[in-house]
Structure 1
Amino acid sequence: MIIDINRLDRAFDLIKEGVSKGVFPGAVAAVGTRERVIRLESFGNRCLYPEKLSMNKDTLFDLASLTKVVATNTLFMIFLEKGLISVYDNVSYYLEKFKGKNKDDVTIFNLLTHTAGFVPCKPLYKLCKGYEDSIDYICRCGLSYKPGTKCVYSDFSYILLAYILEKIGGDTLDILCDRYIFKPLYMENTTFKPKGNNIAATEIDKKTKKPLIGVCHDENGRFFGGISGHAGLFSDIYDLCKFSNMLVNEGKGIISYASFKAMTTNHTLGLEDNRGYGWCIKGDKNSFMGDIAFPETFGHNGFTGTSLWVDIKNNIYAILLTNRVHPTRDNLRIIRFRRVFSNAVLASLTR
């Protein structure tokens, strides 16, 4: 497949329209292939309140749930290849406190595929005293369904998975990810707890009445000090192009081809969602990856307005970073916008 640059213009014109119509204050987007970045542009503003600040191509974004796949899931795959962990290890093998009805049946596979039986989330920042207490709380929580019978997206799965990886790696998640993922891929601007001012604003904090800038938007992630397996990672478009280039090249430089294929295979056929290890698989379901995306396309998105998807078969990836939760999370127009943007990107593919 070849990307028609003129037809790709429509996708980027949609982002301009999205800014003008208030779908999000600003955005940075990129489309690339195995060989190169085809197009990369910034639009609108990284902050509206208390002052209007322009978006830059190198603005950092709170990736929200992209943390799960860029950081935690990738680290898991690396540790798997080192022989440090297995997909079918029981969670209780690593966490003795993980006890209760059906919990002996929960494996790392269930954490990876969101089939462990957990509820989507709970306000740990209100229920617990800190990170360790939150882990204990999740371990004590009863399951809401029998493991493996449903696919229910849950932050709890990746909070636990990261904790297990920290135990195995002997260090905190941020240090492990920097060592095994970010430095090898030369992702120099990807970090938890970022510094500097060129960071897209997210929601206005109810207490301070100021927008969150460089502070984890997710309340539980913020409660954990900004470092968690489910949220808290910040990055820019350039680093995510490097990460996506690794993906479109089927794991090259980070994980083996065999691991990559296992990671991006749909392991939840017949359940409520299509999941690989961590990644969403398009399949035939409604997806942010677009109405006309090929079934094998995989990707993930984040609550703050971030997303990326990769189509190996047609040698293309697309990254869309927005600050749609600025000034409020009540703006939900990003849900439809992601689909129409992806459709326009895919429509640029020609034979």
Structure 2
Amino acid sequence: MLMTILIAFLGFVIIASLGFAFTGGGGGSAALTKRTQTIGLGSNTRTKQRQKAQAKTPEERRRQITEQLKEADKRERKARLTLRARMLHAGVSPDITKFWLYSGILGAVAFVIPLLALGHMPFLLRLLIACGAAFAACYGLPRWVLGMMAARRIKKFTEEFPNAMDIITRGIKSGLPVNDGLKLVAKECSAPLGPEFQRLVENVGVGMSLDGALEKMSEHIPAPELRFFTIVIAIQAKTGGNLSEALGNLSAVLRARKMMREKIKALSSEAIASASIIGVLPPGVGIMISVVRPEYIAPMFTDTRGQLMLLGGATWMFMGIMMMRKMINFKF
């Protein structure tokens, strides 16, 4: 009985296999027909989309271009926030491993010091302070230093950049090609302008186009002035024209921007002074009281409630300083 069932099952499998083999061609042709129809529909869809794009009004095309520019600017800002980009902006070799190693050592030292120095405080409070100090020293302090170095370097670059435009303009008017003008800037100007233009000249010398070399230079110096120079060079390369006149106008615009920057700084100096006084006043008064009457302010450091009040006050003070900095930090 068992052998009969097994033979019947094997026979069913063989017959089903033969039937699938003989009828598979029809299924394949049906699939091929369906695939062909899908491709035809896809081509028709693309044709309709192309016709729809051509039928757009100038306002719609302008809106689409604006959205594309916004997306490109957003991607560029996101790329600037990377650690490697910040190190390039600061003029530091982008060694990420070494950076995180030094940051970890600094964070470990900042974690141990409060645990040992604040032995009179409760352990939980010491642990919280140590964790906060370690986080600030490991994550915040190195990035803050990189930001300061990058801002100082970009500021120095933008201050000397109009002079570089004047050198290139005079060289072009005297009959020199653009590359010789770039070499003059690399030779005559100080850091960071000279080394960056020297790198630009070397990239052009190895076969890179001037537009591509300027884009690569923008990775090291993300300044709007350099972006203006790149746009002027790109437009002149495509449309032609008097390059010396265009660079002369660019130099005038950059100097006007610098004057506007100084004017804004002068007009906002009163707000900056007021914010500085408000930020320094509470800790200054606390230090004066601790010098004149130390027994009066001692419970703030020895009692747990006073320590919690100091911690809360420092937190709110930090938030207030950041808010005032946001209010007086004008972008132009």
TM-score, normalised relative to structure 2:
0.24
Structure with greater strand share of residues: 1
Structure having greater relative contact order (Cα 8 Å, sep ≥ 6): 1
Greater percentage in helix: 2
